[in-house]
């Protein structure tokens, strides 16, 4: 793994540790070689970023373990393991007394191993598709519809201005959205690596997410205008609901669907930015001649 590939994963670990109240600067990271964890004096988190780490049969490790690269083999007892990338093997007779979370990578648990609790994010994501989890999806639709209805009722001009950029200046909106979205994402991720700026990084990422949600509301407003509903707030709410459904359906199309989703997000993100969240209509620079 290169530094660029591993840094985001380490940042995720840092964020998880910060969220759990632990001291992120005390964690130890293993990048290469063959190492053994016997549990003695292991109070801070251990991150496996490369190489091979083994918890022997007679050892008990209470510190949280993270796998972001390389291999972790558990023959003894560990409390909690999170796998973001890399490989985890829990052998026969070994035990995970707490939670085993698999976000990415590969986790192999022998039939004779004892795992108190296991969660698999990939499986959960699959479970969250509308057909498998209608309640969750309905919640998303209703939430966005509610926000769209409220914003449209209070200040429809904001949505109209952003919507104008989406429809009439889609190219420039998409360019600004793509470059700003990507650059800000990288910036916030790298900010987190400074540790000092972790709170700012979290706020920044949340703000980016907020802009995306706002753009979804705008799409809802645009769809709502085409619906035979007179009240703008009701139309926007209905449009937002339809948009979420359409976006989900689009995601089901292999490759082209994901590209289409990305394009919609980029255009919406850029349109929100270039109109200052709809506070003013975007007017391209005038070029004489």
Q: With respect to other proteins, which residue has the nearer C-beta, 234 or 263?
A: 263
Is 110 within 8 Å of 92 (Cβ atoms)?
yes
Q: With respect to other proteins, which residue has the nearer C-beta, 230 or 286?
A: 286
Q: How far is the CB of 153 from other proteins (least distance, A)?
A: 31
Q: How far is the CB of 10 from other proteins (least distance, A)?
A: 8
Q: With respect to other proteins, which residue has the nearer C-beta, 236 or 275?
A: 275
Q: Which positions touch other proteins (CB under 8 A)?
A: 1-7, 29, 31-33, 49-51, 169, 171-172, 175-176, 178-179, 183, 186-187, 190, 193, 284-289
Where would I find the beta strands (DSSP E) of the chain?
Answer: 28-30, 34-36, 46-48, 52-55, 60-61, 65-67, 71-74, 77-78, 81-83, 87-90, 95-102, 106-109, 114-120
Q: With respect to other proteins, which residue has the nearer C-beta, 122 or 186?
A: 186
Q: How far is the CB of 194 from other proteins (least distance, A)?
A: 10
Q: With respect to other proteins, which residue has the nearer C-beta, 156 or 268?
A: 268
Give the three-state DSSP class for 281: coil
Q: How far is the CB of 109 from other proteins (least distance, A)?
A: 28
Q: How far is the CB of 105 from other proteins (least distance, A)?
A: 17
Alpha-carbon gap, residue 88 to 103, rounded angstroms: 12
Q: How far is the CB of 184 from other proteins (least distance, A)?
A: 10
Q: How far is the CB of 99 from other proteins (least distance, A)?
A: 27
Q: With respect to other proteins, which residue has the nearer C-beta, 172 or 234?
A: 172
């Amino acid at each position: 793994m290169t530094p660029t590939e591993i840094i985001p994963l380490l940042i995720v670990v840092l964020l998880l540790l910060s969220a759990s109240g632990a001291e992120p600067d005390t964690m130890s990271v293993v990048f290469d070689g063959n190492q053994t964890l016997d549990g003695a004096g292991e109070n801070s988190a251990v991150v496996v970023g490369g190489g091979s780490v083994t918890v022997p049969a007679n050892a008990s490790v209470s510190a949280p373990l993270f796998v972001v690269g390389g291999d972790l083999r558990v023959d003894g007892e560990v409390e909690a393991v999170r796998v973001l990338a890399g490989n985890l093997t829990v052998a026969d007779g070994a035990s995970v007394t707490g939670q085993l979370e698999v976000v990415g990578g590969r986790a192999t648990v022998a039939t004779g191993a004892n795992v108190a609790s296991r969660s698999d994010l990939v499986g959960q994501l699959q479970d969250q598709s509308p057909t498998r989890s209608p309640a969750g999806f309905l919640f998303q639709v209703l939430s966005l519809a509610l926000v769209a209805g409220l914003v449209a009722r209070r200040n429809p001009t904001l949505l109209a201005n952003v919507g104008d950029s989406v429809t009439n200046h889609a190219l420039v909106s998409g360019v600004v959205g793509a470059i700003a979205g990507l650059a800000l994402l990288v910036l916030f991720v790298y900010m987190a690596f400074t540790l000092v700026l972790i709170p700012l990084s979290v706020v920044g990422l949340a703000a980016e997410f907020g802009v995306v949600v706002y753009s979804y509301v705008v799409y809802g407003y645009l769809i709502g205008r085409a619906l035979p509903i007179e009240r703008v707030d009701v139309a926007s709410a209905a449009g937002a609901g339809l948009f979420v459904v359409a976006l989900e359906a689009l995601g089901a199309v292999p490759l082209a669907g994901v590209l289409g989703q990305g394009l919609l997000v980029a255009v919406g993100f850029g349109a929100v930015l270039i109109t200052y969240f709809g506070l003013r209509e975007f007017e391209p620079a005038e070029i004489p001649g």
